[in-house]
Amino acid sequence: MHNGSVGPEVHAVYPGSFDPPTNGHLDVIARAAAIFPKVTVAVVVNPQKRDPFFAIDEREEMLRACVSGFANVRVEHFRGLLANFVRAEHAQVIIKGLRVVSDFESEMSFAHMNRSLSGVDTMFLMSDSSYSFVSSSLIKEVFLQGGDISAFVPPTVLDFMQAKRSSGGTHVDLSRHR
């Protein structure tokens, strides 16, 4: 039988679009990093999402800057099924953040499906209540309409968003924002 206890070898994967990463995501990452010895933040490459604000390498770059203080957190990307990625990574746990009760409805089926496909369980962390209304899509909408999003994203992400806007939406020159 698989020993699922949180031991020195337990590897947790925190998947998402992270377009862009928010303070809510960072809160979940920090809390997962305090529980699990190894956490992989996994950015999905989703060709179905037509108009991403940031390219995959930009999201990875932002996330790497945000998690640089955590020795046990790494950032990767994956294509296709999360179940295949967690199996390939030999991860034991998938982490998801829940902001509001309605998040749970879809997450419950995803958790069942991912467990059926991979044998890997999903564990949920309740997002800090101060971030319960913060989502990447809302952040983008407020930002693009000129609203102040500085309370909701890490400073690096704000820099990237401003650079993206001033470059007219083209790929951000990453070397200028390290």
Name the region of 126 (left: φ>0; alpha: ψ -120 to 50; beta: rest): beta
Q: Is 112 a catalytic residue?
A: no
Query: Is 124 a residue that touches ligand PNS (CB under 6 A)?
Result: no
- Residue window 64-103: x/- pattern of binding to ligand PNS, with contact defined by CB under 6 A: -----------------xxx--------------------
Q: Is 140 a catalytic residue?
A: no
Give the interface segment with ligand PNS, choosing from 9-17, 29-37, 53-61, 160-168 (CB under 6 A): 9-17
The answer to whether 128 and 20 are in contact (CB under 8 A) is: no
Compute how many other C-beta atoms are within 10 angstroms of the C-beta atom of residue 105: 8
Phi, psi of 172 (to 5 degrees): -75, 135
Shorter beta-carbon distance to ligand PNS: residue 51 or 173: 51
Footprint of ligand PNS on 29-48 (CB under 6 A): 44
Q: What is the rounded CA–CA span in Å between residue 129 and residue 172?
A: 32
Q: Is 25 a catalytic residue?
A: yes
Residues that bind ligand PNS (CB under 6 A): 15-17, 44, 81-83, 110, 113-114
